[in-house]
Structure 1
């Protein structure tokens, strides 16, 4: 029997996150984490250390372990980039809560993201996608697919679900992008404050209107039901809306644009998909695994000692689960660096795992499926208008993606 290590772990390790060189491939340095222990000690930007989880099975086990906390205000919480430090100064959103508070808040949102709700909203998403393609074709080639298609699709959809006026879409795109891509805690805090102020005003407007909750969007429904009877605090509603606004468009936008780029770089896979569009749902799962848009799928801090194999996570130590790594674990996905749209990739962790698994995953899947299906059906000759290697890649620790994707047809 292997004994657990009782010696204090080293305070330093491999620097993390690692720089990217390709829009859709993992950082080259990730290769060093393969064939290693399930936990690897890494050093973060501020000199603190954390455990990096490298395998899928161990990651899934840990994210269902109640001894790991999602509370970002806890000592030892592993902020992987500087801008995230600003989270400590902001009221926590429900993804930064542990049970039972997290459970209560999450249940309030489940009806708005159910499979039934997604079926109902599919025609609306198809209408948005077709309208944006009409505009692209009218504008003429080349176009930036990020600006003209990938970003507007989820932005318009999430605004509709939340009950945000369409005329405010540009504001949310700009401020949420600033908050996500900020390089300092101050910049992230300022962008978050702009969004919080707006949402607060929108809540007040919903209170004054007193319309039918089911016709007011998610913010209106929660305002007139949960906020009105004291089940939800106003600040919690603001943070909930901010989370959904930001998460609802940035990650899905990147997934749409990078999926297009990746398929264009794998013409045999794209041709097979065009020949049999019924394979699109499975293709989306494989693209989610292959691209791992969020890269870091979970940051946690241990509240007690947790043994993992012959290693030991000590209470107070940070744990980082990187979906880019675990989604390419060859123990779970044979030949993991090969894109195979027929692969059963449903066990991927691009939406994280456990009680904090992404609430909007059904919406994200639907948006990507509709966007890809309609785009390649209507513009079958779509192709890149610039070499893949010339595209600017988002920095380490950011949502994986490209800032521009020039295409022609």
Structure 2
């Protein structure tokens, strides 16, 4: 590569209006130049941008790259470590201390046992949508309530609290609040979870958080674990449901295939996960000098892993920019890879596998109620990409 090595000076933010499912064009262009590019972090620190599938996957499985928050070399000031329990931003052995107690509670079998409850929640949301009549915003009426109710019930958040909790998560993950609002929302969430943990210790109920109080985890650790599970369990799936619906409505041939063949649902969910990659990027910091893609990543350097270009890598996927619900080449990185692979991935699969077919069966003539270009998108600065609202109509 040498002198011709591609350089990206800032993280691109612009997506195509009306069809925002592709990564920003500058990222796709970077991938065309090769799987690794020089990159400048917002704070001016030099780093690397990894856009190719094989290199992203290899970094995620490489213990020479750290997830620790305090090691991120992206700004000129010192970054504090992740709070206790927030294991996504930790390495071993701290990571396993928090993740292992949860693994048995999020198995494929346990998540499939939730199918009936997820079907009930989905049916109730669709009943409310039908009763309201068109037009309806599917984000607030369908995409958000389903994962919110399910994850809150799993963790034991009282039903009457879920609305305010959802608003707080939106505020600090939506990418549209100022620093003061973000801190306020995060603090309110932390205070709420502190009270919830104390309540579960005093009066355990039939939920995951109550089960975890019967362990050696401290209240601070349980608060951090709860925050990770609630935020990830709600925000990611909510945006997959809304953006996935938008994508299917914009690809009527694929939607017709799904309607004609319900057995296609599992494969359709995987393809939407690959195609949309709503969790766009993550970062890792090299603990030692690492040779990667013909380049030396120096110790202490932070690399940005671009999941959405990795999942569109033509060296890994045939016609990667095409949404093909019958796609055979699986193995996407939408749920990450390695020790940090998404703990709740099976829950997300069940929720999407129930919700998408139910929606289109209930409303066979579902369509956008506004031009596609007017659908409001989350900013690229949001942790998870998606749509802010999705107005739809149907023949009542």
* Shorter-chain TM band: over 0.9
How do 1:56-95 residues align onto structure 2 when only pairs under 5 Å count? 56-76=53-73, 78=74, 88=80, 91-92=83-84, 93-95=86-88
How do 1:351-390 residues align onto structure 2 when only pairs under 5 Å count? 351-390=335-374
Distance 1:250 1:263, change over 3 A: same
Distance in 2 between residues matched to 1:46 and 1:67, nearest whole Å: 24
Q: Secondary structure at the match of 1:319?
A: strand
Runs of 4+ in 1 over 4 A off after TM superposition: 182-186
Displacement of 1:17 in angstroms is 3.9
Displacement of 1:35 in angstroms is 2.6
Pair 1:237 & 2:227 matched = no
- Partners of 2:71 and 2:79 within 8 A in 1: no
Distance in 2 between residues matched to 1:125 and 1:346, nearest whole Å: 26
- Partners of 2:147 and 2:238 within 8 A in 1: yes
Displacement of 1:186 in angstroms is 4.4
Task: Select the residue among 288, 292, 303 that pairs with 2:277.
Answer: 292
- Partners of 2:68 and 2:81 within 8 A in 1: no
Task: Select the residue among 135, 138, 161 that pairs with 2:131.
Answer: 138
Pair 1:156 & 2:145 matched = no
Task: Select the residue among 216, 219, 222 that pairs with 2:209.
Answer: 219
Distance in 2 between residues matched to 1:126 and 1:87, nearest whole Å: 43
- Partners of 1:136 and 1:143 within 8 A in 2: yes
Displacement of 1:397 in angstroms is 2.8
Pair 1:20 & 2:15 matched = yes
For structure 1, which segment, 14-23 or 112-121, has the greater mean C-alpha deviation from structure 2 after superposition? 14-23
Displacement of 1:337 in angstroms is 0.7
Q: Secondary structure at the match of 1:248?
A: helix
Distance 1:70 1:380, change over 3 A: same
Distance 1:362 1:246, change over 3 A: same
Deviations 1:197-252 (A, max 9, x none): 1111111111221x4xxx431111111x11xxxx2122111011011111111111
How do 1:4-403 residues align onto structure 2 when only pairs under 5 Å count? 13-22=8-17, 23-76=20-73, 78=74, 88=80, 91-92=83-84, 93-182=86-175, 183-209=177-203, 211=204, 215-223=205-213, 225-226=214-215, 231-296=216-281, 298-398=282-382, 399-403=384-388
Distance in 1 between residues matched to 2:34 and 2:288, nearest whole Å: 21
Distance in 1 between residues matched to 2:91 and 2:80, nearest whole Å: 15
Q: Secondary structure at the match of 1:335?
A: coil
Distance in 2 between residues matched to 1:363 and 1:13, nearest whole Å: 36
Displacement of 1:36 in angstroms is 2.1
- Partners of 2:82 and 2:89 within 8 A in 1: no
Count, aligned residues: 388
Q: Secondary structure at the match of 1:300?
A: strand
Task: Provide structure 2 residue ranges, at least 5 long, that are not aligned to the other structure.
Answer: none
- Partners of 1:20 and 1:393 within 8 A in 2: no
Distance 1:187 1:89, change over 3 A: farther
Root-mean-square deviation (CA, aligned residues, Å) is 2.2
- Partners of 1:384 and 1:407 within 8 A in 2: yes
Distance in 1 between residues matched to 2:165 and 2:79, nearest whole Å: 19
Displacement of 1:369 in angstroms is 1.1
- Partners of 2:15 and 2:23 within 8 A in 1: yes
TM-score (normalizing by structure 2): 0.93
Deviations 1:75-130 (A, max 9, x none): 51x48xx9xx9973751511111011111211111122111111111000000000
Distance 1:39 1:186, change over 3 A: farther
Distance in 2 between residues matched to 1:249 and 1:18, nearest whole Å: 24
Q: Secondary structure at the match of 1:301?
A: strand
